Amino acid sequence: MMDRDTLLGALQAVVTRVVGPARTPEGEINADTRLIEGGWWLDSVEMLEVIVACEAEFAITFEPASDLSDDHLQTLGTLADVILTKNPELSRA
């Protein structure tokens, strides 16, 4: 069980593991940190690696048609929201 801030930290660790610490955006990382332009600058292959890593890390399966839209993959926070809808057990105390 984790709160949203803990989930955001875990997501940050997943993304950093995929792209390496040198690609971590400068400044504070938070829910508004962008995954693509202006943040980690993930390309399509790196985004796929993050998606697969999230499925393994959080015991979820993304549905490509509904979960992997541009709206859901814009920021750390939007990705966290999708993960919480896929596995509500993560937010239960």
CATH assignment of the domain containing 18: 1.10.1200.10
Tens digits of residue pLDDT in 7-63: 999 999 999 999 998 988 988 999 999 999 889 999 999 999 999 999 999 999 999
The end-to-end CA distance of the chain, in Å, is 6
> Alpha-carbon distance 87 to 81, whole Å?
10
pTM of the model as a whole: 0.90
**Total count of domains within the chain:** 1
The encoded tokens of residue 27 equal 């400044």
Residue 84, domain extent = 4-24+31-91
pLDDT of residue 88: 80
pLDDT of residue 89: 82
Closest to 29 in 3D by CA, of 83, 79, 68: 79
